[in-house]
């Protein structure tokens, strides 16, 4: 049938683009002049994953989370605490535990949030985000307070018993991040195009009508929320493995705005957009924050300008050029 054929063609195009991007990222370290840039690109991939998880919520489900970095932070703290206090060598287990524990935290919070409706949902993400921040900042004995979580061991990167490298090595960490992010991207792509993804899309388009065709809207919103928080937790694990450290500033309101800006820059409702947004943002931050102390004003102003003049972001520009997908 017609839509299936069209979709297949589109899928093949997307698959080729994905493989090309993956190949490019594989080869990229060869061209990068030094370790600093490798680490910068590593950070871009991590924040790209976080921004993509926010976009699953914002672009595909229509829910706004102001403090999505909270869940990166929680994932990072749990990974770190697990490696420090439970099993110093178990990298994969630490990631799994972090994702599971983050989702365990996110579940009741999400449950309360989806009961209240669209706008209160957004306000509550801010309130709960500040709560997490307060805990990370003030619970000194657990989190290290303002100083952050330090002294995390560097586990080896293993694969089915095979030790590949140490996570302390920049190159190894780069490839590790790349592979985890790529797998997450594929899984997310699969979910977005699944029957569940279709339901989330319908809720974004018209929440009331979605209820009137028989969907328990709150339940599906909660599912979307859980997926987004799970992905954010993965980005958190990658974050602490890459940095070797996590502090409360990772989860403050400004960090939340930064992720939102990445999504806006890249354009809502596309999976690759947030990665582009993250790249632009992090390069800009690297460049501009060395020149001015008023980085905050700059970020805020760009967010305002984006909303006013370019609400579809870079992906929107792409859409205009190729008349491809809707943003």
- Applying CB under 8 A, among 14, 156, 169, 201 the residue interacting with other proteins is 201
Q: Binding to other proteins (CB under 8 A): which residues in 242-281?
A: 253-254, 257, 260-261, 264
Q: Binding to other proteins (CB under 8 A): which residues in 121-140?
A: 122-124, 126-128, 130-131, 134-135, 138-139
Q: Binding to other proteins (CB under 8 A): which residues in 175-194?
A: 187, 190-191, 193-194
Residue nearer to other proteins on the CB measure, 27 or 213: 213
Choices 41-49, 242-250, 279-287, 299-307 (CB under 8 A): range interacting with other proteins: 299-307
Q: Where are the alpha helices (DSSP H) in 56-117?
A: 69-85, 91-116
Q: Binding to other proteins (CB under 8 A): which residues in 42-61?
A: 58
Q: Binding to other proteins (CB under 8 A): which residues in 2-41?
A: 2-4, 6-7
Question: Does 115 help bind other proteins (rule: CB under 8 A)?
Answer: yes
Q: What DSSP string runs through 263-320?
A: HHHH-TT-SSHHHHHHHHHHHHHHHHTTT-S-HHHHHHHHHHHHHHH-TTHHHHHHHH
DSSP-derived letter for residue 157 is E
Question: Does 147 help bind other proteins (rule: CB under 8 A)?
Answer: no
DSSP H or E segment with residue 162: strand 162-166
Site string for other proteins, 209-248 (x = CB under 8 A): xxxxxxxxx--x----------------------------
Question: Does 314 help bind other proteins (rule: CB under 8 A)?
Answer: no
* CA of residue 5 relative to chain centroid, distance: 32
SS3 category, 152:
coil
Find the helix packing angle between 170-192 and 35-55, rounded to 10°.
20
Q: What DSSP string runs through 233-260?
A: HHHHHHHHHHHS-B-GGGGSHHHHHHHH
The answer to whether 228 touches 191, Cβ cutoff 8 Å, is: no
- Applying CB under 8 A, among 28, 40, 64, 249 the residue interacting with other proteins is 64
Question: Does 146 help bind other proteins (rule: CB under 8 A)?
Answer: no
Question: Does 205 help bind other proteins (rule: CB under 8 A)?
Answer: yes
Least CB distance from residue 206 to other proteins, whole Å?
Answer: 5
């Amino acid at each position: 049938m017609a839509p299936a054929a069209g979709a297949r063609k589109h899928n093949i195009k997307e698959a080729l683009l994905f493989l090309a991007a993956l190949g490019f990222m594989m080869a990229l370290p060869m061209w990068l002049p030094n370790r600093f840039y490798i680490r910068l690109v590593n950070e871009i991939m991590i924040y790209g994953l976080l921004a993509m998880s926010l976009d699953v919520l914002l672009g595909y489900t229509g829910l706004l989370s102001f403090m999505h970095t909270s869940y990166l932070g929680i994932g990072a703290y749990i990974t770190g605490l697990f490696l420090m206090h439970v099993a110093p060598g178990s990298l994969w287990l630490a990631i799994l535990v972090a994702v599971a524990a983050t989702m365990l935290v996110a579940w009741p919070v999400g449950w309360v949030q989806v009961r209240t409706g669209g706008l209160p949902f957004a306000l509550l993400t801010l309130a709960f985000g500040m709560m997490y921040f307060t805990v990370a900042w003030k619970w000194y004995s657990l989190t290290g307070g303002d100083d952050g979580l330090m002294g995390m061991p560097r586990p080896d990167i293993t694969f089915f018993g095979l030790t590949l490298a140490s996570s302390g090595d920049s190159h190894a960490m780069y490839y590790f991040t790349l592979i985890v992010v790529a797998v997450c991207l594929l899984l997310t792509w699969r979910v977005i195009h699944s029957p569940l993804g279709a339901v989330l899309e319908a809720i974004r388009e018209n929440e009331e009508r979605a209820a009137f065709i028989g969907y328990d809207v709150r339940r599906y919103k909660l599912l979307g929320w859980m997926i987004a928080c799970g992905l954010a937790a993965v980005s958190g694990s990658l974050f602490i493995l890459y940095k070797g450290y996590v502090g409360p500033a990772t989860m403050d309101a400004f960090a939340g705005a930064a992720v939102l800006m990445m999504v806006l820059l890249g354009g809502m409702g596309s999976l690759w957009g947030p990665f582009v947004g993250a790249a632009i943002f992090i390069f800009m931050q690297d460049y501009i924050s060395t020149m001015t102390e008023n980085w905050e004003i700059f970020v805020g102003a760009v967010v305002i300008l984006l909303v006013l003049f370019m609400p579809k972001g870079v992906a929107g520009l792409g859409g205009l050029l190729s008349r491809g997908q809707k943003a």
